[in-house]
Chain A
Amino acid sequence: MIDTILKEKHCVIKDSVRDWKEAIHVALEPLIQDGCCTEEYEKAVFKNTEEYGAYYVLTDDMALIHASNEAGVNDTQLAVTVLKKPVHFTEDGPDVRILIALCAKDSTSHMEGMMAIANIFGDDGNVQPILDAKSGKEIYDVFLNASES
């Protein structure tokens, strides 16, 4: 079940961010505060962005903010931040409003989360309830339902 790697308190709504750098910081903040990963991990995301570009923008609405499982990861956890105003990771990039932060201690323990993400953001997915969410609980419930279906 996804509830072992996604907690309701890690699902948050935020008005806006200044730029993509703040978006990464805000997305990872719940996981860093809870000790799931360290600032080292955030640095790795920025370093990888320099090297590979915005590799985590997976759809027009969503970025899966993550690095590899080497630096600064203590636990496998997800956090979801929904922005009321979108952010651009590249000049011509999409209007991203959903930031999913992921840290994984190995290469398989986050599979439940990836399955839910694939269900929500795939061809026949259902992104609107997340974009329209009024509370963290509403965001959380979408992931919970997507994990069960």
Chain B
Amino acid sequence: MATIKKIMCCCGSGLGSSMMVQMNIEKALKNLGIEGVTAEHTSLSEVTPKSADLFVVGKDIAPQLASYPRVVVLDKIMSMKELTAKLEQAFAKTEDEFHIQ
């Protein structure tokens, strides 16, 4: 089963949506009762597949992370509901690699 200890949010600039999603992830993890997981944000130019155990991005830049092992893709970058549902799915995965669209 996939162990997720670090989540990286990523956007073009590393300032806007990535930080927004990082804050929402911290909130969502709390709501889901998941502890011991950190969330950070960065830019596309700095991210590498080794940066974290799970990557969360908006659908516009999802193609650029197509080769990454574990990715959550958000349709609506600001939606807590969508994020919470997709994070719950990610933490329930038994496969080692997955993309949640």
Most buried by B among A52, A59, A125: A52
B51 located at the interface, meaning its Cβ lies under 8 Å from any Cβ of chain A in the complex: no
Contact with B along A9-50 (1 / 0, CB 8 A): 000000000000000000000000000000000000000100
Known A-B contacts A52-B12, A107-B14, A107-B15; the reply to A114 vs B23 at CB < 8 A is yes
Known A-B contacts A68-B43, A118-B23; the reply to A58 vs B16 at CB < 8 A is yes
Q: Is the CB of A64 within 8 A of B17?
A: yes
CA separation between A69 and B16, bound complex, in Å?
11
Q: Is the CB of B20 within 8 A of A52?
A: no
CA separation between A30 and B30, bound complex, in Å?
38
A92 located at the interface, meaning its Cβ lies under 8 Å from any Cβ of chain B in the complex: no
Q: Specify which of A55, A67, A107, A111 is in contact with B60 (CB 8 Å cutoff).
A: A55
| Chain B min CB distance to A28 (Å) | 14
| Chief secondary structure at chain A's binding surface | loop
A97 located at the interface, meaning its Cβ lies under 8 Å from any Cβ of chain B in the complex: no
Q: Specify which of B24, B61, B76, B80 is in contact with A55 (CB 8 Å cutoff).
A: B61
Q: Specify which of B15, B24, B41 is in contact with A102 (CB 8 Å cutoff).
A: B15
Q: Is the CB of A114 within 8 A of B19?
A: yes
Q: How many chain B residues touch the partner (CB < 8 A)?
A: 22
CB neighbours of A66 from chain B (8 A): 13, 15-16
Q: How many chain A residues touch the partner (CB < 8 A)?
A: 27
B47 located at the interface, meaning its Cβ lies under 8 Å from any Cβ of chain A in the complex: no
Known A-B contacts A66-B13, A68-B43, A107-B41; the reply to A52 vs B60 at CB < 8 A is yes
Q: Specify which of A64, A115, A123 is in contact with B23 (CB 8 Å cutoff).
A: A115
Q: Is the CB of A68 within 8 A of B19?
A: no
A104 located at the interface, meaning its Cβ lies under 8 Å from any Cβ of chain B in the complex: yes
Q: Which residues of A contact B (CB under 8 A)?
A: 48, 51-53, 55-56, 58-59, 64, 66-69, 102, 104, 107-108, 110-111, 114-115, 117-118, 121-123, 125
User: Nearest 10 pairs between A and B by C-beta?
Assistant: A68-B13, A52-B12, A55-B12, A64-B16, A114-B19, A121-B78, A66-B16, A58-B77, A123-B81, A123-B80
